[in-house]
């Protein structure tokens, strides 16, 4: 399932996505994030964004600054972005986390491949 929400505040979103989760630390923007936090798509490539999402780069992009230093769409009331959350059905989550089915999660897992393809 795909859930989508508008990001209302660049600074609020940067803080939210950088905050610690309960297990691994900075879930979205650190080296432990793995494939859940990768720049992707033609727009990211055109903007010079690739690989893992670093916290400082993420905050700058939310604020309208590209890795090159170029400022884009810097104006009052600007929408920093959208939060897209891909969730597997409960039965898939149970198989992945409770039954330990390695085909579902991980860099080569079905869930990761489905999200990347989408």
Identify whether residues 64 and 30 lie together within a single domain. Answer: yes
Q: In angstroms, rounded to a whole number, what is the distance separating the alpha carbons of residues 31 and 67? A: 19
Give the contacts of 27 (CB within 8 A, at least 6 positions apart).
20, 21, 33, 36, 37
Which residues constitute the domain of residue 76? 2-82
Identify whether residues 38 and 59 lie together within a single domain. Answer: yes
Identify whether residues 48 and 74 lie together within a single domain. Answer: yes
Identify whether residues 59 and 75 lie together within a single domain. Answer: yes
Supply the pLDDT for residue 12.
Answer: 75
Identify whether residues 62 and 13 lie together within a single domain. Answer: yes
Helix (H) or strand (E) holding 5: strand 2-7
Number of domains forming the structure of the chain: 2
Supply the pLDDT for residue 25.
Answer: 41
Identify whether residues 102 and 77 lie together within a single domain. Answer: no
Identify whether residues 39 and 73 lie together within a single domain. Answer: yes
Local confidence pLDDT in tens for the 118 residues of the chain: 888 988 887 777 777 766 644 344 444 544 544 446 778 889 899 999 998 888 788 888 888 889 899 998 777 778 888 888 888 889 988 888 888 888 887 778 888 888 888 8
């Amino acid at each position: 399932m795909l859930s989508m929400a508008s990001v209302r505040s660049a600074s609020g979103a940067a803080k939210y996505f950088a905050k610690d989760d309960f297990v691994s630390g900075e879930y979205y923007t650190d080296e432990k994030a793995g494939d859940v936090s990768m720049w992707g798509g033609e727009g990211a490539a055109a903007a010079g964004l690739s690989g893992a999402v670093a916290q400082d780069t993420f905050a700058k992009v939310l604020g309208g600054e590209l890795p090159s230093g170029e400022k884009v769409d810097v104006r009052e009331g600007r929408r920093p972005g959208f939060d897209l959350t891909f969730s597997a059905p409960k039965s898939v989550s149970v198989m992945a986390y409770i039954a330990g089915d390695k085909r579902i999660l991980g860099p080569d897992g079905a869930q990761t491949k489905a999200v990347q393809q989408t």
